[in-house]
Amino acid sequence: MNNSIDFYIDQLINHTDLFDTNINDFEANKVFDFSEETILITGAAGTIGKELFKQLIPCTFKKVILIDIAESALYNLSIEFTEHINHKIELRVCNINDKASTKHIFSTYSPTMVFHCAAYKHVPLMEINPYEAVKTNIIATKLLADLSAESNVKKFVFVSSDKAVVPKSIMGMTKHIAEQYLDSLESNTEFIITRFGNILGSNGSVLPVFLKQIELNLPLTITDKDMTRYFIGRQKACQLILESTGFNNLKNKTLSFRNNSPISIYKLAKSVISISKKDDIIIKITGVRSGEKLHEIMVDSNESTEPISHPDIFQIKNKKKPAKQIADFKYLKNITPNTSTLDAEIILRKYL
């Protein structure tokens, strides 16, 4: 059995009727002119950060700074791209929750463009670790955004999630609040929020979990037979993130990418079993977990989408009055490592 994620993604896209063939339709040879830019990527060793870097390699740029708190993952990235690492590329271990370390990155390299990919994204884990979710997904995002504004960064691109829309989970609430904060900022820095669904095959997502379960001859576990999710290929998503920097003076800061139809997780599990040719593997329904929705949405009832010049990118317009400036996050100081999920949710909802 070939159990590589890329093999399964290829099989699922090209040999099942689950996905439209354009889920990862991107221009493999497209290059961008960032010759005047010093680019900072947070969460550079993660699925999105790594793919952004990969697509930047053939482009022109002044410098690329890759930062991540995960030392081993960052080291593995340096090994994987050894032949491309040169004086224009810096890899730094950095905890974006640490103000001194993050300020040092900005003062040392003076980035002109920031791709903020670092985040805690796993819904069940963040339900029981709300303090960590708040620190990384809100407070660190605020720190990066404020430093970017102070440093006259040209463009700050924030990687958000469909879970930020009408959020139910701690993770979704933290991403929603981060979106709101960035949307409220007024500065010379152009803040861009990119909102899309699950990256097919990303670290810790459903497909790698299924493959590990198959490898161990375990049942494939899904939480509900009716659950659906939006998916997009990592290469397409990252190319669209890079392309989002090409728009100037947008009326709205939030962008959404064209989505295929939502995919049944149950059908995905059945397709993975079929590809694996392990007919004895069963599917086990475990029940919806805390914070999970049966179905995600990309746009809530107070928002609408407006086309722009790119066929796969849309502006999201808020029909309500513009988001008010969030002066501070004083209530968030009440969220500590001892705070329960319920109490954290009550505090977070003050900002929704």
Q: Give the strand pairing for 89-93 and 190-195.
A: unpaired
- Shortest CA distance to 104 belongs to which of 119, 92, 88? 92
Query: What is the per-residue pLDDT for 248?
Result: 86
Give yes or no for residue 20 having a pLDDT over 90: no
Q: What angle do CA 293, 295, 299 make, to 5 degrees?
A: 105
- Shortest CA distance to 253 belongs to which of 174, 181, 151, 328? 181
Q: Kindly compute the dihedral angle of the four CA atoms of residues 196, 198, 203, 204, in this order, to the nearest 10 degrees.
A: 130
The predicted-structure confidence for 97-116, as pLDDT tens digits, reads as follows: 999 999 999 999 999 999 99
Query: What is the per-residue pLDDT for 1?
Result: 45
The label of the residue with tokens 């010379």 reads: 188
Look up residue 81 and give its two tokens. 């791209």
The predicted-structure confidence for 310-335, as pLDDT tens digits, reads as follows: 999 999 998 775 555 566 788 999 99
% of the chain exceeding 90 in pLDDT: 86
* Contacts with 277 (C-beta within 8 Å, 6 or more apart), sequence order: 1
Domain ranges of the chain: 26-199+232-259+299-351
- Say if residues 236 and 23 touch (Cβ distance below 8 Å): yes
* Range scoring the smallest mean pLDDT among 16-20, 114-118, 198-202, 269-273: 16-20
- Say if residues 29 and 266 touch (Cβ distance below 8 Å): no
User: What 3-state class would DSSP assign to 2?
Assistant: coil
- Shortest CA distance to 183 belongs to which of 134, 252, 250? 252
Query: What is the per-residue pLDDT for 121?
Result: 96
The residues that are catalytic are 163
The predicted-structure confidence for 290-311, as pLDDT tens digits, reads as follows: 999 999 999 999 999 999 999 9
% of the chain exceeding 70 in pLDDT: 97
Query: What is the per-residue pLDDT for 268?
Result: 97
What is the mean pLDDT of the segment spanning 66-85?
97
Tell me what the pLDDT averaged over the chain comes to: 94
- Look up the pTM and report it: 0.95
The third-level CATH classification (topology) of the domain covering 26-199+232-259+299-351 is Rossmann fold (3.40.50)
Query: What is the per-residue pLDDT for 252?
Result: 85
What is the mean pLDDT of the segment spanning 229-254?
93
Phi, psi dihedrals of residue 251, rounded to the nearest 5°: -70, -35
* Contacts with 55 (C-beta within 8 Å, 6 or more apart), sequence order: 235, 238, 239, 242
